[in-house]
Amino acid sequence: MATAMTQNPTYDVCAVGNAIVDVLAPCEPAFLEAEGLTAGSMQLVDADRSAALYAAMQAGVEASGGSAGNTVAGVGSFGGRAAYIGKVADDQLGSVFSHDIRAVGVHFETPPLTDGAATGLATGVCMINVTPDGQRTMCTFLGAANQLSVADIDAGVIGAAAIVYLEGYLFDPAPARAAFEAAAAAAHAAGRKVAITLSDSFVVHRWRAELLAFIEASADIVLANEAELAALFETEDFDAAAAHLGRIVDIAAVTRGAAGSVVFGNGGAERVEVAACPVDKVVDTTGAGDQYAAGFLLGVARGLSLEDAGKLGSLAAAEVIAHWGPRPMTSLEALAKEAGLRL
């Protein structure tokens, strides 16, 4: 676990994740059934399947995404200081991703994959089909994203961040998992906090033992939703699973959709219930957990109470589910001020 920090951080949050461009389109449940897709899931696909799905989808919109990338974009929207480490290819979508993340004030200098054309590895893309209830079903071609390696982990940037945020999706490709572990080691060596998001229940099912081992050995902060929590501890008993998670890390936040979130601190000794912010209409749930993480982690990095950090998370999640796309369209800093929440 992290030791005492020796100097003030340059960044509130540095995230390490899969750099992905999202393609979002509306669909009916029948489309998911016809394509053999499980509603609400995330699955990895190859380039051919990704292209075929793109051809079958309705007209959509492109938006820079990637779970951890969305989170640091949210941190930037709050007026926070953020950095990002992720791999894109030296292609058009890679340029779009790089421009978008820098435009919101995030430090991003990971070298692009320059031999992508030769290897057939373009910038990663996620096909997201959204049903009328706002639920998203994702098919991800990682492409260049899973070429992130230990060499891409900038120990200077990692050590300059109060919290280093690791995306659970990185447990899928082996080279990226090694980078993930190197980032955690660099963070702790600098006396910083390591946070991890479980990302998706399917990821947890695939890597349950490895994730648990990592959490117990290296994580200070864990973010999860109900389904991911149930998969991690193989139980539907929410209270028991949440209490267990709270005991094995310093801070844990578990989101429950419209029911808000539950936050644990001090090794489970402190438990806080945080209400969800009301939303007139849920348009697209893509990025809800990512933006909750943005508000929550920024709050923790700034020394706010767990309750206030959770409120920032709820505020950010409510903003993003009220429109298409995984990143804020309204200044989260302005919304926080309107709500009387300090940063």
Give the residue ranges of DSSP H helices in the chain. 29-34, 47-56, 67-77, 92-103, 116-119, 155-159, 174-189, 201-218, 226-233, 238-248, 288-301, 306-321, 332-338
Q: d(Cα 126, Cα 84) in Å, to the nearest integer?
A: 19
Separation in Å, CA 98 to CA 8, 93, 162, 308, 329 = 27, 9, 23, 31, 18
| Beta-bridge partners for 20 | 124
Rounded to an integer, what distance in angstroms lies between the CA atom of residue 203 and that of residue 232? 10
* Helix, strand, or coil (residue 43): strand
CA angle 221, 247, 187 (to 5 degrees): 30
Q: Measure the CA–CA gap between 333 and 343, rounded to whole angstroms.
A: 8
Task: Give me the phi and psi of 4, to 5 degrees please.
Answer: -65, 140
Tens of pLDDT, residue by residue over 155-186, are 999 999 999 999 998 887 788 888 888 999 99
What's the pLDDT at 6?
54
Q: Supply the DSSP symbol for 250.
A: S
CA distances from 314 to 173, 258, 267, 310, 323 (A): 31, 10, 22, 6, 15
**Whole-angstrom distance, CA of residue 24 vs CA of residue 47:** 17
Q: What are the DSSP calls for 117-128, one per residue?
A: HHHT---EEEEE
What pLDDT shows up at residue 174?
80
In tens, the pLDDT along 103-150 reads: 999 999 999 998 755 566 899 999 999 999 989 899 999 899 989 999
pLDDT value at position 4? 47
Report pLDDT for 117.
58
Percent of the chain with pLDDT over 70: 97
